[in-house]
Chain A
């Protein structure tokens, strides 16, 4: 590189003695495809080798996948006889799309799920897009009004709506119910636990530490088993708690411990002076915490909270092991249908795409939010 520079830009000393400066070589090209390629892919022998090997691998892997999933795939049909090509048989998915979304929810009542999902979507859009006004109203509606409405709408049994027991719930709808309830319950509980863990009251602190470390130390699957097998033992025999509710309690406790640790890391990052200054102004504990410390702490840990939410969303799939039919559970049940044996790849790939879309958009949104809220020192 340095040799090239030397030859491209001769020193003034080499200019002839008449006072003229010799014409210089044109500078090296800095733009264009070839330069970009040389700089980013072929900057040396090893890099060139890596690039070529990767290119070869990408072609070898992506071509068959595209051919299988798009070009040779069968999209329309009603039975497996329609799948004649050697590509993917998406008919397996399209014929049971209703089940994938609604589970075993009775067909004439599915509009209730649609309405709930639509309300949820509207509230979510309202909350997520920063330009829309009245965020406080939206937040209150989401936290207090929506759960009540959704509860009566989905479960029924009142207001003239037929009762739909939770064992008929399933599919994407059940996944969303579990994830939403889990997130909405575990965040406040996690904040309380985090505050408790930093409390000056030794007994409160000890209880919170034991609670957090217990749930963080055991796998979620054992928690779900405990909720389904041991929970009935803990309550009086005549009290029968719904299986979905038991799973939701387990999930909320489990994830609140993780949320607590995330929130605690944020609380630790706020200098003690903030709390002391607020105390000097005469604010009580809840005012200091709620108005001064928490807003700053939560802003710091948004990415941690969202990534915990993503983990929660991914781990809702575990409920299929205790016999609830979430999105993955419904697809797995479809795979055991004797008329449709052998479409495991299509089923799992479809489920993977759906889950991926949800999780990826959540993580992107958290990155965006973090950039937007990064108001302090850069």
Chain B
């Protein structure tokens, strides 16, 4: 006999503290109150402490005279400039060493990562040893080593190591020839830009043509020619407005040329070698993640090895590598703040340390310094997410 459905008792509402909605509301309210309480307490304490110590607040100090000199400045900073200018000088130095480090570590990491997969036993072993040594030693130790031990072993100024009498390396840094841009050099730069745009257009046209007819031009060589020849012709027509300032030893120092301070070299070398060992592992795992069937399919289609690597394996490996690479670039940028250990005047050393010691305004200065790094990392991850979504597998 069927029981009428009405006889099923209605499920009783449990106790209030068993209701998920009530519970989540209570938990979140408690969290909110606790968080606001802690923050209020911290603000209150900070205000009281600052007042007790007689420290100013506010950002007016940015306009005060800094009064200290910076070893390497990319803007026109002198000790008469303001703290705001010192901030910019430090920021530029951070960006400089980060960009140099990113370029160098990508090149080294790519080479080592591919070398690790080489069929040449010795090459693969050397790459493995490189990776295992350098990624297991603290970066700070490596920076100190390259700066104090390796650069300290370089010869004095008078006995500088030199390459073709153009590049000089000594304890005080590296001196390289500096380009002096003459009147009208900008035309060459515009020419180069135009050539790049033209090359891009040609590559697109070629791609379209290949899709329609199946034929392709040797576009790589054509574009190389375009990019080299057009600026060169403009350069020659405008009367070669470029000369080089070659360093030469005069008295106790080198005159002319571009002087790279040893702190920059030490930091750059250490950041490059350290980060490259991580990038090499990323490259290796990226390439290995592409299944072997892809290689076999490509070779059964008759594609040569080089094209298989460039057109079949790398695009797929890139998909895995890009998020990891971007986080490596970010950590390189953040790691450049270790510059303070050897006195390279980066953002943190100039602003977070020297300026803070002079003004005592710890809260404002730490907020600005951390804000810059935070903004850099948020912008990078935003760009990388954008790029990543373009590269990601198109699933339909």
Please tell me if B181 contacts chain A, counting CB pairs below 8 Å: no
Please tell me if B46 contacts chain A, counting CB pairs below 8 Å: yes
Q: A201-B27, A222-B337, A344-B149 are in contact. Are A55 and B140 (CB under 8 A)?
A: no
| Chain B proximity of A204: nearest CB distance (Å) | 6
Cα-based distance from A150 to B370 in the complex (angstroms): 35
Candidate in A43, A47, A200 with the most chain B CB atoms within 10 angstroms = A47
Q: Which of B9-17, B115-123, B172-180, B204-212 contacts A (4 or more CB under 8 A)?
A: B115-123
* Interface of chain A, main secondary structure: helix
B138 engages A360 (CB within 8 Å): no
A233 engages B374 (CB within 8 Å): no
A-side contacts of B27, CB under 8 Å? 201, 204
Closest to A203 in B: B28
Q: Which of B129-137, B191-199, B218-226, B295-303 contacts A (4 or more CB under 8 A)?
A: B129-137
Q: Which of B48-56, B239-247, B383-391 contacts A (4 or more CB under 8 A)?
A: B48-56
A-contact bits for B46-79, CB 8 A (1 contact / 0 none):
1011101000000000000000000000000000
A-side contacts of B319, CB under 8 Å? none
Please tell me if A198 contacts chain B, counting CB pairs below 8 Å: no
Cα-based distance from A276 to B316 in the complex (angstroms): 34
Q: A233-B362, A344-B149, A359-B136 are in contact. Are A217 and B31 (CB under 8 A)?
A: no
Please tell me if A112 contacts chain B, counting CB pairs below 8 Å: no
Please tell me if B373 contacts chain A, counting CB pairs below 8 Å: yes
Please tell me if B356 contacts chain A, counting CB pairs below 8 Å: yes
| Chain B proximity of A5: nearest CB distance (Å) | 19
Please tell me if B148 contacts chain A, counting CB pairs below 8 Å: yes
B-contact bits for A206-229, CB 8 A (1 contact / 0 none):
010000011011111110011001
Q: Which of A306-363 contact B (CB under 8 A)?
A: 310, 314-315, 317-318, 320-321, 328, 332, 335, 344-345, 348-349, 351-352, 355-356, 359-360, 363
* Interface of chain B, main secondary structure: helix
Closest to A42 in B: B120
A352 engages B137 (CB within 8 Å): yes
Q: Which of B28, B139, B153 contacts A204, CB < 8 Å?
A: B28
B136 engages A360 (CB within 8 Å): yes
Q: Which of A217, A235, A237, A349 contacts B374, CB < 8 Å?
A: A217
A219 engages B32 (CB within 8 Å): no
B138 engages A314 (CB within 8 Å): yes
A222 engages B352 (CB within 8 Å): yes
Q: How many residues of A contact B (CB 8 A)?
A: 55
Q: A219-B373, A235-B45, A328-B141 are in contact. Are A50 and B123 (CB under 8 A)?
A: yes
B334 engages A219 (CB within 8 Å): yes
B35 engages A207 (CB within 8 Å): yes
Please tell me if B354 contacts chain A, counting CB pairs below 8 Å: no
Q: How many residues of B contact A (CB 8 A)?
A: 53
Q: Which of A229, A235, A310, A335 contacts B362, CB < 8 Å?
A: A229
Q: A200-B24, A234-B42 are in contact. Are A356 and B136 (CB under 8 A)?
A: yes
Q: Which of B45, B152, B352 contacts A344, CB < 8 Å?
A: B152
Cα-based distance from A232 to B50 in the complex (angstroms): 10
| Chain A proximity of B215: nearest CB distance (Å) | 31
Q: Which of A47, A219, A349 contacts B348, CB < 8 Å?
A: A219
Q: Which of B46, B121, B334, B377 contacts A41, CB < 8 Å?
A: B121
B49 engages A321 (CB within 8 Å): no
Q: A217-B374, A318-B140, A352-B137 are in contact. Are A233 and B31 (CB under 8 A)?
A: no
Q: A54-B122, A235-B45 are in contact. Are A217 and B377 (CB under 8 A)?
A: yes
Q: A43-B119, A219-B337, A360-B132 are in contact. Are A233 and B152 (CB under 8 A)?
A: no
A-side contacts of B149, CB under 8 Å? 344-345, 348-349
A-side contacts of B137, CB under 8 Å? 314, 352, 355-356, 359
Cα-based distance from A315 to B341 in the complex (angstroms): 13
A318 engages B338 (CB within 8 Å): yes
Please tell me if B128 contacts chain A, counting CB pairs below 8 Å: no
Cα-based distance from A332 to B46 in the complex (angstroms): 35
B-side contacts of A51, CB under 8 Å? 120, 122-123
Cα-based distance from A219 to B132 in the complex (angstroms): 24
B-side contacts of A217, CB under 8 Å? 370, 373-374, 377-378
B140 engages A40 (CB within 8 Å): no
A203 engages B32 (CB within 8 Å): yes
Cα-based distance from A315 to B141 in the complex (angstroms): 10
Please tell me if B190 contacts chain A, counting CB pairs below 8 Å: no
A230 engages B362 (CB within 8 Å): yes
A214 engages B374 (CB within 8 Å): yes
B141 engages A234 (CB within 8 Å): no
B-side contacts of A230, CB under 8 Å? 362-363, 366
Q: A54-B126, A216-B377, A230-B366 are in contact. Are A47 and B144 (CB under 8 A)?
A: no
Closest to B32 in A: A203
Closest to A328 in B: B141
A201 engages B334 (CB within 8 Å): no
Cα-based distance from A169 to B370 in the complex (angstroms): 30
Q: Which of A58, A200, A207, A314 contacts B31, CB < 8 Å?
A: A207
A-side contacts of B373, CB under 8 Å? 217-219, 222
Q: Which of A237-263 contact B (CB under 8 A)?
A: 237
A-side contacts of B352, CB under 8 Å? 222, 225
B-side contacts of A216, CB under 8 Å? 377
Please tell me if A133 contacts chain B, counting CB pairs below 8 Å: no
Cα-based distance from A81 to B366 in the complex (angstroms): 47
Q: A221-B340, A234-B45 are in contact. Are A355 and B348 (CB under 8 A)?
A: no
A-side contacts of B123, CB under 8 Å? 50-51, 54
Q: 29 interchain pairs (CB within 8 A)?
A: A40-B121, A47-B120, A50-B122, A50-B123, A203-B28, A203-B32, A217-B373, A217-B374, A221-B340, A222-B366, A222-B369, A225-B352, A225-B353, A233-B50, A234-B46, A237-B45, A310-B136, A315-B138, A320-B341, A321-B340, A328-B141, A328-B144, A332-B144, A344-B144, A348-B141, A349-B145, A355-B136, A356-B137, A360-B132
Leading 9 A-B pairs by shortest Cβ distance: A40-B121, A359-B136, A219-B334, A314-B138, A217-B374, A345-B149, A217-B377, A203-B28, A219-B337
A positions within 8 Å CB-CB of B = 40-41, 43, 47, 50-51, 54-55, 58, 200-204, 207, 213-214, 216-222, 225-226, 229-230, 232-237, 310, 314-315, 317-318, 320-321, 328, 332, 335, 344-345, 348-349, 351-352, 355-356, 359-360, 363
